């Protein structure tokens, strides 16, 4: 569905992404991990056409992002790290505006609006001004605008950032419910959240893909000192803080994931 080939992005002399390549199949939920400044947001912004890559290609369902940007954007729903909300609008007005600019046919706009209000549990706040909503509600409004045009690919940049535990669970449930309808590409710093929703992990380190593996394969490994199953947190640390050899965490022997160490 999504094919990324040798994407690089330079900002002046700084290389934010270096020859990133991966493929995503329809219906997957992909967790994108990486430290701050690793290149996650840059990658997401390239996938959404917000910025163009310095080199490389991105295709979605065969459409090249450089040649068919509008077609691609029609297929993508995007929630940036900071929800892009017009605070003076009511939830309903904002979502209707989102439906209009995202090309939802006029006769289907109210149907789609009702659908996302229900799906994101926003019915009771639809008449409220966005500025008066809690952060959790604002995040859900952000997700609602991202899915109102039924995109094939949903890209979420740290959708649980700054939320309390209950709000996080609500947002994660909402993301899990997308699985049947669309492919989800999700970035977060909270690894336990990724464990709950993702099927596959992409780890990015200094602008390069450091790890690309199914989550289940990753967690099959064991910590040698305690003979306990690995957690995603241990995998993450293992890739970012090289351990002394005697304490080094074992990675699974028979897996089909690719580790692309620099």
| 101 is an interface residue for another protein by CB under 8 A | yes
DSSP-derived pairing of the beta strands 208-214 and 200-205: antiparallel
When asked if residue 118 is in the footprint of another protein (CB under 8 A), the reply is no
Q: Which one, 97 or 257, has the nearer CB to another protein? A: 97
| CA–CA dist 23, 199 (Å, integer) | 14
Q: Which residue has the tokens 């293992």?
A: 238
- For 243, other C-beta atoms within 10 Å of its C-beta total 11
**Which residue of 16, 42, 78, 213 would you call a contact of another protein, by CB under 8 A?**
78
**Residue 97 in the binding site for another protein (CB under 8 A):** yes
Asked whether position 8 contacts another protein by CB under 8 A, the answer is no
233 binds another protein (CB under 8 A): no
Q: Which of 109, 70, 82 is nearest to 93 (CA)?
A: 109
Continuous H helices in 102-184? 106-119, 135-147, 165-176
Please, are residues 125 and 90 in contact by the beta-carbon 8 Å criterion? Answer: no
Among 25, 26, 55, 103, binds another protein (CB under 8 A): 103
Which residue in 23, 100, 118, 123 binds another protein (CB under 8 A)? 100
Answer yes or no whether residue 53 interacts with another protein by CB under 8 A.
Answer: no
For another protein, the binding residues (CB under 8 A) are 45, 48-51, 70-71, 73-74, 76, 78, 80, 82-89, 93, 97-98, 100-103, 106, 145
């Amino acid at each position: 569905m999504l094919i990324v080939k040798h994407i690089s992005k330079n900002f002046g002399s700084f290389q934010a992404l270096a020859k990133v390549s991966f493929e995503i199949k329809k219906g997957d939920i992909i967790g994108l991990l990486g430290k701050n400044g690793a290149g996650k947001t840059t990658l997401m912004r390239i996938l959404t056409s917000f910025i163009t890559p310095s080199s490389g290609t991105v295709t979605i369902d065969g459409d090249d992002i450089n040649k068919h940007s509008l077609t691609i954007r029609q297929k993508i729903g995007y929630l940036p790290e900071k929800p892009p909300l017009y605070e003076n609008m009511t939830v309903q007005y904002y979502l209707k505006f989102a439906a209009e600019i995202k090309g939802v046919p006029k006769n289907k706009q109210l149907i789609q609006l009702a659908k996302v209000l229900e799906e994101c549990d926003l019915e009771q706040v639809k008449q409220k001004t966005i500025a008066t909503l809690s952060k959790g509600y604002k995040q859900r409004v952000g997700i609602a605008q991202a899915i109102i045009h039924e995109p094939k690919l949903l890209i979420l940049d740290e959708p649980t950032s700054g939320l309390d535990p209950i709000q996080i669970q609500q947002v994660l449930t909402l993301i899990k419910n997308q699985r049947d309808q669309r492919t989800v590409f999700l970035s977060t710093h909270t690894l336990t959240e990724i464990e709950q929703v993702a099927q596959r992990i992409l780890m990015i380190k200094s602008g390069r893909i450091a790890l690309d593996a199914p989550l289940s394969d990753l967690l099959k490994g064991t910590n040698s000192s305690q003979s306990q199953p690995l957690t995603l947190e241990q995998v993450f640390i293992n890739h970012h803080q090289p351990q002394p050899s005697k304490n080094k965490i074992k990675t699974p022997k028979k897996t089909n994931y690719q580790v692309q160490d620099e």
